[in-house]
Amino acid sequence: MQTELTQALSELKKNHLKVTKQRKALLGCLLQNQDHYHDVTLVDEYMRKQFPGMSHNTIYRNIKEFEEVGMVEQQVQGDRARVKYQCDFRHLHHHHFICQNCGKVTELKECPMDVFEAQLPGYDIVGHRIELYGICPDCQKLLAKS
């Protein structure tokens, strides 16, 4: 985890964001489980335990700044926001399979946009996000045993 934290701090500096003990703690929280999304309210609770005087706005602003520079990915489902540390700075554009049982996130290597672009001649696509949901092999094995 120390290597990832060093890389994350380097990304902060590269993007002209100050390295503070609060930002280090936030990154540490997200790095603890890189292959899962974290509920933003739980991240907020963790940070406020570490820094009791820290406001909700500061925590959410830092998460937003991290997202803007590609350090975290955010997922919103209904009224629930979740974030995950971006683990591959060389391939910022990617998609995920998310296990609905354990929440594990697996990065997909290919982007299917060519298929969609072919169906939309003349359209100007300005962005997209593709996530697949299901049950990972580990959870399938566990569920089959029960």
Residue 96 assigned to a binding site = no
Annotated binding residue 136: yes
Do 120 and 128 form a contact (C-beta atoms < 8 A)?
no
CA–CA distances in Å: residue 99 to residues 32, 106, 116: 18, 8, 24
Is 102 annotated to bind ligand?
Answer: yes
Residue 95 host element (H or E)? strand 95-99
Count of alpha carbons within 13 Å of 123, Cβ hemisphere only?
11
- 91 annotated as belonging to a binding site for a ligand: no
Bridge partners of 83, per DSSP, are 38, 74
29 annotated to bind ligand:
no
The edge-to-edge listing of strands for the beta sheet with 72-77 is 38-39, 80-85, 72-77
Do the annotations mark residue 99 as ligand-binding? yes
Which residues define the annotated binding site for Fe cation?
93, 128
Which residues define the annotated binding site?
93, 99, 102, 128, 136, 139
Which residues define the annotated binding site for Zn(2+)?
99, 102, 136, 139
